[in-house]
Amino acid sequence: MRVKDLVLLHGWGSGAGIWDGLARRLSPRFRIHALSLPGYDTDPARAARSLHAMVVAIAQAAPRRCGVIGWSLGGEIALAWARCARRQVQRLALIATTPCFASRPGWPCATSPVVLNEFGRFLASDRGGTLARFTAAQAKGDARARRVAGVLQQFNERDVPTDVLLAGLDVLSDTDLRRELPRVGQPTLVMHGARDRIVPPAAGRRLAAALPDARFALLRACAHAPFLSQPGRVAQALREFFDE
């Protein structure tokens, strides 16, 4: 049965508006629900301090049956949600997603915990400069880097409290979903930019290989935000996947 409702989950430091362009391309076929992560909608009281709390908040706001598109941190949330809500989550598309953002023994395709800790300290002392550098890092290497950086900068969530952003970094540092992957049985499309400097493509390949029903798509000229770099190609792949 074709998916009718699509939930879109954004990444760390951006907001639901980052999906506007992709949503326009998908809306003729699907009902789009671009949800803000807890604390990102100017309501700090809704901030979630753990991956589980994020999943609970998103599940409550989502339709009873839906497909899910998750980008980066949003993809980790989507994975955890799919694991515990097989009836609600029908299909998954994971963009620039890793099951484990911080490097660990046996998992080298990740960011050093030391780097994450330093990033958190820089965020607390120089929020604007740190977010600007993160935007540049997401676009770096992309064939359309200037365009991608411009869109990312436009939807940079300047009003999100710093403690919400720091809590999100803690979730990225602490989360390791590798052992959960064999129990995520929904059909899954894993999409990854070949030039991604934030989440190495090897993490996406390993993610797809560990899921029971997944396929991997590598976008060769893209970095961390392929849906901004090649929106037409990404939208077409998503339409075909969720129409199956």
Domains of the chain: 5-243 (3.40.50.1820)
Task: Specify whether 72 is catalytic.
Answer: yes
Residue 161's pLDDT is what?
Answer: 86
Q: Which of 33, 72, 142, 192 is catalytic?
A: 72
Task: Specify whether 50 is catalytic.
Answer: no
Residue 159's pLDDT is what?
Answer: 77
70: buried, middle or exposed (CB in 10 Å: 19+, 13-18, 0-12)? Answer: buried
Q: Which of 10, 142, 196, 229 is catalytic?
A: 196
Mind listing the pLDDT tens digit of every residue in the chain (244 residues)? 577 999 999 999 999 999 999 999 999 999 999 999 998 875 655 667 799 999 999 999 999 999 999 999 999 999 999 999 999 999 999 999 999 999 999 999 999 999 999 999 999 999 999 999 999 999 999 999 999 999 999 888 677 888 899 999 999 999 999 999 999 999 999 999 999 999 999 999 999 999 999 999 999 999 999 999 999 999 999 999 999 8
Using DSSP, state whether 105 is helix, strand or coil: coil
Task: Specify whether 52 is catalytic.
Answer: no
Residue 160's pLDDT is what?
Answer: 84
pTM listed for this prediction? 0.96
Counting other chains too, the contacts that 128-137 makes at CB distance below 8 Å and 24 or more residues apart are 128/158, 131/13, 131/156, 131/158, 134/13, 135/13, 137/197, 137/198, 137/224
Q: Which of 10, 33, 192, 224 is catalytic?
A: 224
